[in-house]
Structure formats: C-alpha cells, structure tokens
C-alpha cells in the first residue's frame, strides 16, 4: 500500500472529503458509487463495478431482481434446472 501523506478528519456526520488529485488519478467522478471493504484494521474504498453475484465476473451482465448475473451463469443455471437452451 502506498502512502499519500494526505490526512483528513471526519466531520460530525462521519464523512471525509477525497482530495481532487486522488479522484482524478483514480477516475472517481462526482456521485460515482464506491464500495467499502474492511480488512483487519483498514478501511478500503474502491470504485464500484457491478459483478456477477455467483462468479464475480464483470462482463456480459444482465440484471435480474436487482442483482447482476452474467449470461454464462444464466446458461449454467438453466442446465442445472434441466432446461435445454439453444444459444
């Protein structure tokens, strides 16, 4: 992990401001969703990208009931259900 030397304080609502230099470098725009991870004693922010709920794949996604699923997973589920799907 690389230190930037930037320190920010939380405001009274628990918010921080990400410096413009970091947002530009990482391609994070205004209102972009960020995912929050916790690893040991670290908080990790990552730009959110939808992914298949089963495999984590990020290509060829469809949305079903508010969840992202890859077409490959849909075909695999159809096979498990005994359906014969012609691609």
| 17 contacts: CB under 8 Å, gap ≥ 6 | 8
Give strand pairing partners of 61: 70
Q: What angle do CA 39, 66, 57 make, to 5 degrees?
A: 55
pLDDT of 5: 87
Q: How far apart, in whole angstroms, are the C-alpha atoms of residue 16 and residue 59?
A: 32
Q: What would the pLDDT profile of 32-86 be if each residue is shown by its tens digit?
A: 999 999 999 999 999 888 899 999 999 999 999 999 999 999 999 999 999 988 7
Q: How confident is the model at residue 15 (pLDDT cuts 50, 70, 90)?
A: very high
**What distance lies between CA 66 and its chain's CA centroid?**
14
**φ/ψ (deg, to 5) at 64:** -140, 120
pLDDT over 90 at 1, yes or no: no
């Amino acid at each position: 992990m690389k230190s930037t030397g930037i320190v920010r304080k939380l405001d009274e609502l628990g918010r921080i401001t990400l410096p413009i230099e970091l947002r530009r470098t990482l391609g994070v725009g205004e209102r972009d969703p960020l995912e929050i991870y916790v690893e040991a004693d670290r908080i990790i922010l990552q730009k959110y990208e939808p992914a298949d709920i089963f495999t984590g794949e990020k290509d060829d996604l469809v949305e079903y009931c508010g969840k992202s699923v890859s077409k490959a997973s849909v075909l695999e589920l159809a096979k498990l259900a005994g359906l014969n799907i012609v691609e």
